[in-house]
Amino acid sequence: MKEFILFLVFLFFMSCNSRTDNPFQIREGLSKAGDNCKQLEGVLEHYSKNPADSLKLKAAQFLIANMEGKYSEYYNTPWQNIASALYRWNDIPDEERLLVKHDWGELKVEEDVKFITSEYLINNIELAFKVWMEQPWGKNISFDVFCEEILPYRVGKEPLENWREKILIAFADMNNYFKEHPDITAVEACGMVNKQLPAFTWVSTPMPAMNYSMLMSTPRGTCDEMGALAIFVMRALGIPVTRDFTIQWPNRKLGHSWNSVCDSSGTHISFMGVETNPGDYHLGTRLRKSKVYRNTFARQNHINEADSLIPFELKNRYMKDVSSEYDGCNFNVELPIINLADVGKYVYLLSMGKEASAVVGWGQIEDGKMSFSDIGKNVLYLPVSYQNDEYTPAGYPFRLDDSGQLRVFQPDMEKCETLIVSDAGKDHPWLYRMQQGVFEGANRMDFYDKKVLYIIKDMPGSDYEKVGITDLTPYRYLRYVSPKGGHCNVSEIQFWGKNGRKLDGRRIGTSGSWYNSPATKDKAFDDDIYTYFDAAEADYAWTGLDLGTPQVLAEIHYLPRIEDNRIIHGNRYELYYWNGDDWKVLEKKTAEMNRVHFQVPSNAVFYLRNATNDTESNKYFMVKDGKQVWI
């Protein structure tokens, strides 16, 4: 029987298109299935009996050919144990004890090729084909799009379940509505369904892999979990939806993912699952990006190298570059290679952030030049080669401005100009986020008896603001509540008692941070002016102290968020520049008032270090028209 099935695979692939034209991958999948091989063969045999099932056979072959590397990951404990622990995940410092008390059990991993059943695959294929054929927009969805964005039986590494059946029952009303309205499009249907999905609570730590039922019962997580729920529900209803993502934001140790839906013309329109509808602005469209990729079910061969020769960020073989589909990510660059002897088969693109750098793409090499396609603007890049787990610069840093104009930062040591590094002042973009913020005191933990102590009526400056408090009531709980849209952006808060002593206590406030960054509520009380709280919630997030016992407050000192290296009179500063191979100290100066004067080479990129207190600016900057410009 096994030989017969392989013969059918061979004959069929002789006539099918490139979408599934890989009999080797099918043979590989069958060979790695072990004792489960009969289950996979059973699917192929099932769809080989009737010529009318030829397209379903092709779909089955697509799934089996790309099954390698896909698996379920789960804890061998009832989901309610995990869900109840996750509810307080951000607020409990002793996470290990929390896991023990909730009996999370042992982490289990099951490879699809060794555990998936023929019944499960056949049921998935049948339901996927049913909605594809029945929905009004189905006739405009190609088989290629169907295979990638409706057919797949899983989204990530979640435990498998019969999610299609559950969704078709839970969303039966919408499914019937679509069939009764023949003019409705996939994009319109996507928007209608997205509005019905539950709102999510952000968490700042990675979540366990969750399937549809888990996501619906525990709507907590990051952008990945939000997008996964949208994918499950949309695909079950025949709406072609996938996940797009950027590997890392410029200058932040975070990436981001969102969704896109395929319209009748084959164009993908992005949206954020459970949050914004197709065509609306969301984080994935608003912020600058270096590259955008799309998760695929089929294995991609974009880099023809062994995984050991590819940087970590690009080892995912199940993604394809879709940067050209996004505004601001469609620029092409060609540059000379400065270290040709060190460059291997490929050259890679490093997003060169001060706080975080990551390889975000790759380029082509020809005739001593390197070219990169479809990259984003307003990002500092460094071309690099990769060998033996190390990066070597292959060119100078470069950047594309708003108009796509290329600037390569090759310092001209013969041509110098004056640079004055000063305080950011009132023009800094984050200062407004504290305007209309409120300081409150209370003696109940829920702040039900809160008393307003001070309102920030005017936009604050970039230095410490000091406010005297005349209210003599002792309060146990003190907090700062951010205004609408402020994300509770504050660098430092100090509460001072009437005896001139700084008050301290347990940090309390809104959990998490913007896209799981380290900028959590406690950063407002860490005595570090270069850190800050950046709440995941835009409106009315808060941070404060539980003093333990009621105390009288005399003064409030607060410092707004400013992402730069503040200049302090009398401190010693070191100016670094990129010389082509590494960062080098250009000059050391002592600040006079809030300024430092340097003579710098033209066409260079810099960062500043405060040698007195051992802190650095958290962004690189360049000089444009004699002024310091943050990158």
* Cβ atoms 471, 453 nearer than 8 A: yes
Indicate the number of domains in the chain. Answer: 4
pLDDT tens figures, 251-262: 778 899 999 999
| 446 and 542 fall within a common domain | yes
| CATH number, domain containing residue 192 | 3.10.620
Q: Which amino acid is present at 629?
A: V
Tokens of 471: 């209210």
80 Cβ contact partners less than 8 Å away, ≥ 6 residues apart = none
* Cβ atoms 83, 221 nearer than 8 A: no
What gap in Å lies between CA 405 and CA 416, rounded to an integer?
23
Of the two residues 615 and 51, the one the predictor is more confident about is 51
| 276 and 159 fall within a common domain | yes
Q: Which amino acid is present at 518?
A: P
515 Cβ contact partners less than 8 Å away, ≥ 6 residues apart = 222, 223, 249, 252, 254, 256, 283, 536
| 455 and 491 fall within a common domain | yes
Cβ neighbours around 330 below 10 Å, total: 15
In a domain, 222, yes or no: yes
Give 601's DSSP letter. Answer: E
| 93 and 193 fall within a common domain | yes
* Cβ atoms 392, 342 nearer than 8 A: yes
| CATH number, domain containing residue 613 | 2.60.40
What gap in Å lies between CA 66 and CA 156, rounded to an integer?
14
Q: Would you place residue 28 in the very low, low, confident or very high pLDDT band (cuts 50, 70, 90)?
A: confident
SS (H, E, C) 222-282: CHHHHHHHHHHHHHHCCCCEEEEEECCCCCCCCCEEEEEEECCCCCEEEEECCCECCCCCC
- In angstroms, the Cα distances linking 28 to 152, 298, 309 are 19, 14, 23
What gap in Å lies between CA 303 and CA 363, rounded to an integer?
10
Q: Which amino acid is present at 215?
A: L
| 571 and 544 fall within a common domain | no
In a domain, 391, yes or no: yes
| 380 and 485 fall within a common domain | no
* Cβ atoms 199, 219 nearer than 8 A: yes
Last residue within a domain, chosen from 560, 590, 617: 560
| 264 and 224 fall within a common domain | yes
pLDDT tens figures, 33-77: 889 999 999 999 999 999 999 999 999 999 999 998 999 999 888
What gap in Å lies between CA 287 and CA 486, rounded to an integer?
17
Beta bridge partners of residue 261, listed in sequence order = 241, 269
Beta bridge partners of residue 598, listed in sequence order = 419
Q: Is the pTM of this model over 0.85?
A: no
Cβ neighbours around 435 below 10 Å, total: 15
What gap in Å lies between CA 349 and CA 362, rounded to an integer?
6
| 478 and 530 fall within a common domain | yes
* Cβ atoms 441, 453 nearer than 8 A: yes
| 273 and 327 fall within a common domain | no
In a domain, 11, yes or no: no
Q: Would you place residue 24 in the very low, low, confident or very high pLDDT band (cuts 50, 70, 90)?
A: low
| CATH number, domain containing residue 436 | 2.60.120
In a domain, 216, yes or no: yes
In a domain, 60, yes or no: no
| 380 and 470 fall within a common domain | no
In a domain, 7, yes or no: no
What gap in Å lies between CA 31 and CA 15, rounded to an integer?
23
Q: What percent of the chain has pLDDT over 70?
A: 92
In a domain, 40, yes or no: no
| 365 and 435 fall within a common domain | no
38 Cβ contact partners less than 8 Å away, ≥ 6 residues apart = none
Last residue within a domain, chosen from 560, 577, 598: 560
pLDDT tens figures, 284-314: 988 899 999 999 999 998 788 877 788 999 9
In a domain, 297, yes or no: no
What gap in Å lies between CA 441 and CA 319, rounded to an integer?
51
Q: What is the widest separation between alpha-carbon atoms in the chain?
A: 89
What gap in Å lies between CA 307 and CA 79, rounded to an integer?
35
| 357 and 230 fall within a common domain | no
Of the two residues 218 and 268, the one the predictor is more confident about is 268
Domain boundaries, position 599: 417-423+565-630
What gap in Å lies between CA 345 and CA 303, rounded to an integer?
10
